[in-house]
Structures are given as C-alpha cells and as structure tokens.
Amino acid sequence: MFKEGLPIAYDAPADLKKWPSLRNERVTSKTPYLVYNGTLADCIRLLLAKPINQISLYNIVTERQTAFDSNVLSPADAAEIALRKDFPKG
C-alpha cells in the first residue's frame, strides 16, 4: 500500500521478482526469484506488461520510501502508482 499525496522516487533501485508457481498459484514455500533489476519505474512498466493471468505471481521490491507502507509493492500497488500524474511516461 502507498500514501497517495506523498512523492515517489521513481528512479530508486528496484527488483521485479516472481514467485515460483503451480497452476498459476504462488508456491509460498519457495522463495521468489529475480526477473529484473533496475529502477522502480522500469519494474512497474515491466510488471504491467505481463499477461493478466500471471501478474499476481510478481512483486516489486524497492527501497523504503515515505510514500510506501512496505518495501514490497504488490501488482495492485504498481497499477495504482502507474496511474499517478507524476509517473514517468516511456
């Protein structure tokens, strides 16, 4: 979850991680693995480009920011952040 009115550092380092899955369900007894390392904005773009039926298998891990309740962002958080007016396009 994130706080709407606070600024977000989109250029902060971030990792896109995927949970191992079985029949499109997370296998929580396993550890998520790294798919991409880059900026928060890049990770959000890559996550939202994934097929909708697989998006729940991903998380974004980034530096703790005052706008975030956690350093792990869910796909729902990423989608909301991408809709912000200040989200970098392209």
Structure tokens at 62: 């980034």
Give the domain ranges of the chain: 15-81
From 47, 50, 37, 36, select the one nearest 81 (Cα to Cα). 47
Give residue-wise pLDDT tens across range 4-45: 789 999 999 999 999 999 998 999 999 999 999 999 999 999
Mean of the per-residue pLDDT values of the chain: 94
- The DSSP bridge partners found for residue 68 are 2
Instruction: Give the pLDDT of residue 2.
Output: 65
Say if residues 68 and 2 touch (Cβ distance below 8 Å): yes
Q: For the chain, what's the residue count?
A: 90
Instruction: Give the pLDDT of residue 90.
Output: 72
Give me the DSSP letters along 56-71: GGEEEEE---TTBSSS
The pTM is what? 0.91
